[in-house]
Amino acid sequence: MESTVKITAAEVNKLRQATGAGMMDCKKALVEAGGDFDKAIDVLRKKGQKVAEKRADRDSSEGAAVAKVNADNTSGVAIVLGCETDFVGKNENFVKLANDLADLALNFDTKEAFLAADFGGMTVADKLVEQTGVIGEKLDITAFEKLDAPYVGYYVHINKIAALVGLSAKVDNAETLVKDVAMQVASMGASTLSYKDFDPAYIASETEARIAVIEKDNEELARLGKTLKNVPKYISMAQLTPEVLAQAEEDAKAELKAEGKPEQIWDRILPGKLERFISDNTTLDQEKCLLDQNFIKDEKINVAKYVVSYGDVVITDFKRASVG
């Protein structure tokens, strides 16, 4: 039997504003709920659960990355609200939802606590289910990163990558420093702060693997009669002991002598040769270690030297959350 409950446009609009569901879905839900607003929300939520169940095996590989910091810049969060298509990921309402969720996420240290938190009268997890029904795509929090420090800043790249950086102190122009370093994190994808963080076993296995790749490449280059790539003995500053560096200096001197360069000018040439040796033999650090990477705004210096230029401050930690 068809319901005789009269549903007004104002009631439909109120439900739409609360849930984001379409006008017809809201009207149907209100009719099914006999005009009861809270029951209508439950009707829409059940619809969302059914859609979510059907799309549970889908991949939330698109979405929006968002970062937020609190009022005194001592805590920051970066999240990714994932969806299935780039079309939805760029939708204005979807991006707003991601920002609203990030504002709430600032209050929690873990993804689990955040998902269980209240968001407009329901948990974040339930809100994701509800919006799955509204949008018709699987929604999920695919990344959650929290960072606390004496000073925290962030950078977001076109809602695809969000980066947080913590400083040991608030120094003059800290906003510029932290944004520049966060931009470095977003664009260069470091995985750790310094080569000092590497496990020796990891360095050993990476050294073997990287040398093997270069040697294989050189086989093909030799076949084609092209210039061979330099095969490094080392890949990290962690391997460049005082003895290794001393030997590198002796080798450089031997080269200069063989080239017939007068000894009185060696002091002017040696620093450059040693710098080149270090650069050639620290490729792992330059890829993976934030402080050892060339600074994107001035490749003549690394990030560590850029940070030092701001005074007595160090990077305490960084986090990166990206779509996909």
Query: What is the DSSP annotation of 234-262?
Result: -SSGGG--HHHHHHHHHHHHHHHHHTT--
Count of Cβ atoms closer than 10 Å to residue 42 Cβ: 14
Closest-CA residue to 151 (of 161, 165, 132): 165
Q: Name, in order, each residue with C-beta under 8 angstroms of 175's C-beta and a sequence gap of 6 or more.
A: 153
Residue 51: its pLDDT value, please?
61
Residue 1: its pLDDT value, please?
38
Question: Across residues 22-44, what is the average pLDDT?
Answer: 82
Given the candidates 1.20.120.1200, 3.40.640.10, 3.30.479.20, 3.90.110.10, the CATH classification of the domain at 62-188 is: 3.30.479.20
Q: How far is CA 260 from CA 257, 265, 275, in A?
A: 5, 11, 21
> Per residue in 6-23, is it b (16+ CB within 10 Å) or e — as a string?
ebeeebbeebbebbbbee
Domain range annotation of the chain:
9-54, 62-188, 195-318
Amino acid at 78: A
CATH superfamily of 9-54: Ubiquitin-associated (UBA) domain (1.10.8.10)
Question: Across residues 183-211, what is the average pLDDT?
Answer: 94
How does residue 319 score in pLDDT terms, banded at 50, 70 and 90?
A: very high
Do 9-54 and 62-188 show the same overall fold? no
Instruction: Say whether pTM exceeds 0.85.
Output: no
How does residue 53 score in pLDDT terms, banded at 50, 70 and 90?
A: low
pLDDT tens track for 254-296: 999 999 889 899 999 999 999 999 989 999 999 999 999 999 9
